[in-house]
Amino acid sequence: MPLYEHVVIARQDISPQQVETLNDSMKSIIEEGGGKVAKTEYWGLRTLTYRIKKNRKGHYTLMNIDSPHAAVAEMERQLGLNEDVLRFKTFRVEELEEGESAMMRKGGRDDRRGGRDDRPRRDGGFRKDGGDRPKEGTTEKTGDES
């Protein structure tokens, strides 16, 4: 059977229990269609990049699905009718990711961000004081001065 990754964004003003109920209903549709849900991850209430239907936040959920296309199409049809769902997207994949998804792993963007001295300068060098300007009272010579 084909493998799918399915992401759903639900409205911000529903409770996490209602999101869980929504996930259970999607899972039952898939199982009635002869498939199975390998993994469900609730990513939490996250800020949207832009407003969708007057919502600034949404409850994100990821589902890994092993199911025939007809069951996935029925699930998408039901989600399109549900007023609590802002967006959903289904991707067909070659294999399902084992373990946690990238959204759930530690070491994301915040852990990579360091101080100014951690980043290289545009010219390839590093400053010991972490700044990119010369200290007061000193001058740096550039190549175009004579």
Q: Sign of the C-alpha dihedral, residues 21, 23, 45, 86?
A: negative
d(CA 140, CA 3): 59
> Model's pTM, two decimal places?
0.68
Looking at residues 105-132, what average pLDDT do you find? 55
Domain ranges across the chain: 3-93
Q: How confident is the model at residue 2 (pLDDT cuts 50, 70, 90)?
A: confident
Looking at residues 24-34, what average pLDDT do you find? 94
d(CA 59, CA 130): 39
pLDDT at 133 over 70: no
In the prediction, which pLDDT does 112 show?
44
CATH of 3-93, one of 3.30.450.20, 3.30.360.10, 3.30.70.60, 1.25.40.20: 3.30.70.60
> How much of the chain, in percent, has pLDDT values that exceed 90?
59
